Structure 1
Amino acid sequence: MKFLHTADWHVGKTLKGRSRLDEQRAVLGQIIGHAREHDVDAVLIAGDLYDTAAPSPDAQQLVVQALLALRDTGAKVIAIAGNHDNAATFDAYRPLMDAVDITLAGRVRSAGKGGVVSFDARSTGERVNVAVLPFLSQRYAVKAAQLVASTPAEMSRDYDAMVREVIDALAASFTPGAVNVMMAHLTVVGGAFGGGERQAQSIFEYHVPAAAFPADVHYVALGHLHRRQTLPAPAPVVYSGSPFAVDFGEQDNIPVVCLVQASPSTPARITDLAVTAGRRLRTVHGTVDEIVARAEEFGDDYLRVYIREPARAGLREEVTDALPNALEVRIDPEFAVSIAERQPTTDHRDRSPAELFADFCTARNVADPKVQALFERLHDEVTSVGRE
């Protein structure tokens, strides 16, 4: 049987105030196209469908339309809540989605109450069991361990120990002669960050080792880290990554969805399917003239611009007028440091206020005659009060 593994859609994400819904619509359209072209039996979405727990109506509409379109390909669609999603809302809509053969899992459930989703693959008739593990906070991990594993769990217990109990309890419902899959939204030790994750819910106690997953599971479909990667483990433990660059920290990631082929008796085979509909994010360095001269090269890319010249009034506007997709403009930190290091130590005792202000501007990479003239005028006005 075949299924698609995707995660971390972050629908509703804005970048420096710029809406990305049209871009996200194109990305999801490409994922739907992959599902249709490869005639998959299921689509697994491993959390963070939304970028916020209170998504806009437009973001919700886009996700619902995408889920329905994936269902219309004939695939079984299963999605879990990530740390950016509203788990309670997922569970509230679960009965409605069940009615159209789409499974949403907001919070951890025992295997018999929806924690394991079982179905027959339409292409082969093989039995498929998918254990679903939505994002668990440290506080809720205690409750989940009690609910699913039926064991007393103390707050002092390690997060990964409680998550292991949940995984083991769900895996106990796997059946021989079936394709057994686990889907989770969490951080696995050794995973590389993609660049746009919410750090406070990815480090410290929020992680488990890859060995937490059963060795005989056919595939572990993960969400949360935005970079496509397979972690060393007896079974395939895979992050599909985000299908588009969520922030500039992810500009070098290669967006994909994973096409997985598995049978009860053979190891999973994974093929990465490119997702190219998202706009490229790019960081560029240079003087204003150097960067503006490259405008045609940048096309529709969103830009983070690091200027290698001193600050002056209107500098940002110069860049954005020529490059409307420049979302962030700042002085290059390396350039600022190099200028500061070249400044000699000066004896200020016999220097005028104008000279001292000029030194101050130079130390902060500000080179604007209008600023210097304004200071001198204001200084003259202040010091002349009472002398007339």
Structure 2
Amino acid sequence: MKFLHTSDWHVGKTLKGRNRLEEQAGVLREITQIAVGNDVDAVLIAGDLYENAAPTADAQRLVVRTLLQLAKQDIEVVLIAGNHDHGATLEAYKPLMDIAGIHVYGQARPAAKGGVHSFRAKSTDERVNVAVLPFLSQRYAVRAAEIIANTPSQNVGAYDQLIRDVLDNLTGAFTSDAVNIVMAHLTCTGGVFGGGERAAQSIMEYHVPAAIFPVEAHYVALGHLHRRQTIPAACPVHYSGSPYAIDFGEQNNTHVVCLVEASPGTPAKITDIPVTAGRRLRTIEGTVAQLTADPAVYGEDYLRLVITQPAYAGMRDDLLEALPNALEIRIHPDHASTGATAGIATHQPTKTPAQLFSDYCHSVGVSDDRVTALFNHLHDDLTRSTARS
């Protein structure tokens, strides 16, 4: 049987205030065309369909339309919630989605209560078992009291053990006569960031080793890290990566969907199929004269400009007039000054909230792992609820 593995659509994502819904629609159309053109039995979407937990009506309309188009082609559609999605809301629509042939898993559940989605492949009539593991926040792995009392390494162990326990339960339902698949939204130890992930829900206590996946799995379809990559393990463990550049940190990534062919007792064959509909993100460096000499060379690319000359009054207006797709303008540190820089950022490294909090603690003489762990816990709660507040 054949299936398509994709993840991290982040529909509704804007970039420096620029609406990207039309671009995202093009990406999803291309994914649908790839699925139909390769006559796949299923499409597995490993989380983060949306950019935030309260997507706009237009974002939801685009995603639902795409899922229905796939289902109408007699393709089994299976999806899980990521850390950007609101799992409970996805669960609320599950009964309706099931009727449409779209199988939604917003929250983790044991195998006996629907944690393994099984179906027959239309092309071969082979049985397929998909163990589904939506994103699990650390607060479900370690109670608040344990976060206060435990050391960071103990908390890592607790999260690791929770994921192991859940997977042991789910994969216990695997059968030798079927294609057995794990689909999860999480960070594997040693995985490389794509550049646009939420650090607070990707590192700290949130990573697990790929060794937790059983050798019986024909394929492990992961979401969360935006870079296409394979994680060494006893079975095939793959991140499909995001199908377009989510942020400038991902401008050099390769964007694909994974076409997987598998049969019971046969190793999976994985083929990367490029997704080209997304607009390219580019960081370019030079003086104003150099950057604006030939605007046509940048095409429709979104640009981040790094200016290698001192700022002057009206510089931003000059640049945007010539390069309307410039979404960010920075002054190179070697040329930064205090004058005439309104609306232009200096090119300084961006620190994560955790790093900023660590710097503050150091400045006031506080060194306590429990305080750091509590901050991480509170930041996790905030980042998951901001879009709903």
> Residues 283-322 of structure 1 correspond to what in structure 2 (within 5 A)?
283-322=283-322
Q: Which runs of 5+ in 1 are unaligned?
A: 144-153, 337-362, 369-388
Q: Alpha-carbon deviations, 1:63-101, whole Å to 9, x = none?
A: 000110111221100000000000110100001101111
**Bigger radius of gyration:** 1
Q: What is the aligned partner in structure 1 of residue 37 from structure 2?
A: 37
Looking at structure 2, the residues matched to 322 and 214 of structure 1 have their Cα atoms a distance apart, in angstroms, of 55
Q: Assess if the C-alpha contact under 8 Å between 2:156 and 2:205 holds in 1.
A: no
Residue aligned with 2:207, SS: coil
- The alpha-carbon deviation at position 367 of structure 1 amounts to 7.4
For structure 2, the residue ranges without an aligned partner over 5 or more in a row are 144-153, 342-389
Structure 1 residue 366: deviation in Å? 4.1
Given the alignment of the two structures, is residue 256 of structure 1 paired with residue 256 of structure 2, yes or no?
A: yes
How far has the Cα of 1:296 moved from its partner? 1.2
**TM-score, L = length of structure 2:** 0.83
Match of 2:148 in 1: none
Alignment of 1:156-305 (within 5 A): 158-305=158-305
Letter in 1 for 2:36: R
Aligned residues: 331
Change (3 A) 1:157 1:186: same
Which whole-Å deviations, capped at 9, do the CAs of 1:27-78 have from their partners, x for residues lacking one? 0000000000000000000000000000000000000001101112211000
Query: How many Å separate the matches in 1 of 2:287 and 2:156?
Result: 54
What are the equivalent positions in structure 2 for 1:318-357 lying under 5 Å apart? 318-333=318-333, 335-336=334-335
Residue 365 of structure 1 and its aligned partner are, at CA, apart by: 6.4
Does the 8 A contact of 1:35 with 1:73 survive in 2? Answer: no
2:115 equivalent to 1:115: yes
| 1:94 aligned residue | 94
Output one character per residue of 1:252-289: Cα deviation in whole Å (capped at 9) or x when no partner: 00110000000002100000011000000000000001
What is the identity percentage for the equivalent residue pairs of Structure 1 and Structure 2?
63
RMSD between aligned residues: 1.5
Give the counterpart letter for 1:324 in structure 2.
P
Match of 1:364 among 329, 337, 352: 337
1:155–1:252 distance in 2 versus 1, CA, 3 Å: closer
Cα drift, residue 330 of structure 1: 1.4
Q: Report the secondary structure of 1:97's partner residue.
A: helix
SS of equivalent residue, structure 1 residue 158: helix
Contact 1:309–1:365 at 8 Å: present in 2 too? Answer: no
Deviation of 1:294 after TM superposition, in Å, equals 3.1
CA distance in 1, matches of 2:51, 2:88: 16
1:119 to 1:160, Cα distance in 2 relative to 1, 3 A: same
TM-score by length of 1: 0.83
Aligned counterparts of 1:178 and 1:367: Cα–Cα separation in 2? 66
Distance in structure 1 (CA, Å) of the matches to 2:112 and 2:18: 44
Give the conservation status (yes or no) of the 8 Å contact 2:196–2:246: yes
Change (3 A) 1:285 1:155: closer
1:62 corresponds to 2:62: yes
Residue 3 of structure 1 aligns with which residue?
3
Amino acid at match of 2:175: T
